[in-house]
Amino acid sequence: MERTLIAHLPQAIGQKVKIQGFLHTLRDQKTMQFLILRDRSGMVQVAFYKKANPELAEQISRLTNESVLTITGTVVENPIVKLGGLEVQLETLTVESLAEAPLPLDPTAEVLPSLDYRLDWRFLDMRRAPVTAFFEIQTTLEMAFREYWLQHGFVEIHSPKLMGSASESGAELFEVQYFDTKAYLAQSPQFYKQMAMAAGFERVFEIGPVFRADPSFTSRHMTEFTGLDMEMSYIESHEDVMRFLENMLHYVYQRVAEKHAAAIEAHFGVQLEVPSVPFPRIPMAEAVEILKREGYTLPPEKKGDIDPGGERTLAQFVRREYNHDFFFLTDWPWTVRPFYHMRHPDRPDLTRSFDLIAKGTEIVTGAQREHRYPILREQAIEKGLSLEPIQFYLDFFRYGCPPHGGFGLGLSRLMMVMLNLPNIREAVFLFRGPNRLHP
Ligand code: ATP
């Protein structure tokens, strides 16, 4: 017999079905047994009249929570059953996998253990409905990004994650043994998506892993994360990239809201707001003035940069003044940006770059890139880089390269912001950090 998903049982009233899933709970009463079975689509009550088969009743009594069962039975309407007003009357039962008891983490428990403990037992933690919902939402979100890119003429690339030299700076780089030499794990697809511009692709995107040897223990950093990156040619300035990004996020939020607004409210207590466009734009110089007025003092060592506390203060200001969760911080000082960011022609101390801040957290960095070889080379020298290891990259710009720009967005950062999660460790399938390489 073919398996029926629990969500499809209302269309099978009166029929015999086969259902499969985890035993969520068992209520063993005097004359009746009620099993709540859970599959990826939902939960259903299965009822068994003990006298019908005392031997089977005994087998059911011995079942442990979270065991995997195959059940056949007849679907009957029963208005007093809270779960969908129906139940399955059990005819046969096969135990596919008996769960050991006690469970190290009970997915049905009201009170959760610490996050760290939950990550140790992540596969059990992920049996909880909000976690399942999280990944359904993330799947829609990624699909919406892809849809938008494809609607706008983008081509997908997969750049290598093993590199012979650093992509941006030597910092935050994981070194790996590579036969009798050294390789590095890619800190971003930056160089390669720009290579695609030099190759004439005009518009590319990549969704892939990014590695950062960042030893910090914040609630928004991981040593491995999924980056959503894009690069587009024939732009006039970083403004074109920001416009593309805000329209894309508007589309993505709309798609997620269409499909998951109710689940997001139920599981995360968030009323999803589709952000209006355009997003506010605040040049860095103005941001520093706003922070002064708001009474926020930037740490002196962050000269030219804005620290996370400053980003949160600006976010409160933007919420108050513009009624918006998102804003662009634009025109960052050259001193705090990488060598490949383009400078303003009339203000060489500033770059044509931006960060996107969402609910006080940075989720994107983008810029127009310097595509003119002699200037790019000079900028690398000015930043004190040795040219030899990046010459392969500089070569991209020697034989004709369109003006271009793009950005990198952290998938988990966006999910965290969208669902108001307090920690990025909950916004990823498996967290990787300085102290966590397992499971
Ligand atoms: P931060 O200042 O927060 O450390 P960054 O400036 O180093 O971030 P970028 O190099 O600009 O980040 O990377 C682009 C995007 O990738 C960021 O805006 C963020 O969404 C995401 N990101 C960067 N580092 C991490 C990380 N360690 N863990 C998770 N996501 C990250």
**Confidence (pLDDT) at 301:** 79
Q: Is the CB of 413 under 6 A from ligand 1?
A: yes
Name the percent of the chain lying above pLDDT 70. 99
**Confidence (pLDDT) at 302:** 72
Residue 111's contacts (CB-CB under 8 Å, 6 or more residues apart) are none
Q: Is the CB of 214 under 6 A from ligand 1?
A: yes
pLDDT band at 226 (very low <50, low <70, confident <90, very high): very high
Distance 208 CA to ligand 1 centre (A): 14
Distance 188 CA to ligand 1 centre (A): 10
**Confidence (pLDDT) at 289:** 95
**Confidence (pLDDT) at 166:** 66
Determine which residue's CA is closest to atom 25 belonging to ligand 1. 221
Quick: pLDDT tens for 196-222.
Answer: 999 999 999 999 999 999 998 999 999
Cα 105 to Cα 117, 122, 160, 182, 439: the distances in Å are: 9, 9, 38, 41, 15
User: What is the spatial distance between Cα 263 and Cα 328, in angstroms, rounded to a whole number?
Assistant: 29
Name the percent of the chain lying above pLDDT 90. 96
**Confidence (pLDDT) at 170:** 65
Check pLDDT > 90 for residue 300.
Answer: no
The superfamily (CATH) of domain 6-97 is Nucleic acid-binding proteins (2.40.50.140)
Q: Is 6-97's fold the same as 124-426's?
A: no
* Sequence spans of domains, the chain: 6-97, 124-426
Question: Within its chain, how far is the Cα of 4 from the centroid?
Answer: 31
Ligand 1 atom closest to Cα of residue 410: 20
Encoded tokens for 130? 């909000």
Encoded tokens for 41? 């689509």
Quick: pLDDT tens for 378-391.
Answer: 999 999 999 999 99
**Confidence (pLDDT) at 167:** 59
Annotated binding-site residue numbers for ATP: 362, 410-413
Task: Calculate the dihedral angle through the C-alpha atoms of 120, 123, 126, 132, rounding to the nearest 10 degrees.
Answer: 150
pTM: 0.95
Distance 363 CA to ligand 1 centre (A): 7
pLDDT band at 292 (very low <50, low <70, confident <90, very high): very high
Task: Please compute the mean of the pLDDT values over residues 293-312 and round it to a whole number.
Answer: 90
Q: Using an 8 Å Cβ cutoff, are 22 and 63 in contact?
A: no
User: What is the spatial distance between Cα 229 and Cα 217, in angstroms, rounded to a whole number?
Assistant: 24
Distance 41 CA to ligand 1 centre (A): 34
Question: What is the average pLDDT score of the chain?
Answer: 96
Q: Using an 8 Å Cβ cutoff, are 374 and 383 in contact?
A: no
Determine which residue's CA is closest to atom 22 belonging to ligand 1. 410
pLDDT band at 406 (very low <50, low <70, confident <90, very high): very high
Question: Within its chain, how far is the Cα of 431 from the centroid?
Answer: 11
**Confidence (pLDDT) at 324:** 97
Distance 211 CA to ligand 1 centre (A): 10
Determine which residue's CA is closest to atom 14 belonging to ligand 1. 408
Question: Within its chain, how far is the Cα of 81 from the centroid?
Answer: 37
pLDDT band at 171 (very low <50, low <70, confident <90, very high): confident
Asked whether the bond before 280 is cis by omega within 30 degrees of 0, the reply is no
Task: Please compute the mean of the pLDDT values over residues 127-142 and round it to a whole number.
Answer: 97
**Confidence (pLDDT) at 318:** 97
pLDDT band at 303 (very low <50, low <70, confident <90, very high): confident
Determine which residue's CA is closest to atom 31 belonging to ligand 1. 410
Task: Please compute the mean of the pLDDT values over residues 426-438 and round it to a whole number.
Answer: 97
Q: Is the CB of 245 under 6 A from ligand 1?
A: no
pLDDT band at 307 (very low <50, low <70, confident <90, very high): very high
Q: Using an 8 Å Cβ cutoff, are 329 and 214 in contact?
A: no
Encoded tokens for 420? 């108001």
Q: Using an 8 Å Cβ cutoff, are 26 and 62 in contact?
A: no
Q: Residue length, the chain?
A: 439
pLDDT band at 3 (very low <50, low <70, confident <90, very high): very high
Question: Within its chain, how far is the Cα of 50 from the centroid?
Answer: 47
Fold of 124-426: BirA Bifunctional Protein; domain 2 (3.30.930)
Check pLDDT > 90 for residue 415.
Answer: yes
Q: Is the CB of 305 under 6 A from ligand 1?
A: no
Quick: pLDDT tens for 228-249.
Answer: 999 999 999 999 999 999 999 9
Distance 225 CA to ligand 1 centre (A): 9
Task: Calculate the dihedral angle through the C-alpha atoms of 423, 425, 426, 427, rounding to the nearest 10 degrees.
Answer: 90
pLDDT band at 304 (very low <50, low <70, confident <90, very high): confident
- Please classify residue 26 by burial: count the beta carbons closer than 10 Å to its beta carbon, then call 0-12 exposed, 13-18 middle and 19+ buried: middle
Check pLDDT > 70 for residue 257.
Answer: yes
Of 211, 221, 341, best ligand 1 pocket probe by most atoms within 8 Å of the beta carbon: 221
pLDDT band at 84 (very low <50, low <70, confident <90, very high): very high
More confident: 169 or 408? 408
Q: Using an 8 Å Cβ cutoff, are 56 and 35 in contact?
A: no
User: What is the spatial distance between Cα 264 and Cα 134, in angstroms, rounded to a whole number?
Assistant: 8
Q: Using an 8 Å Cβ cutoff, are 433 and 217 in contact?
A: yes
Distance 173 CA to ligand 1 centre (A): 14
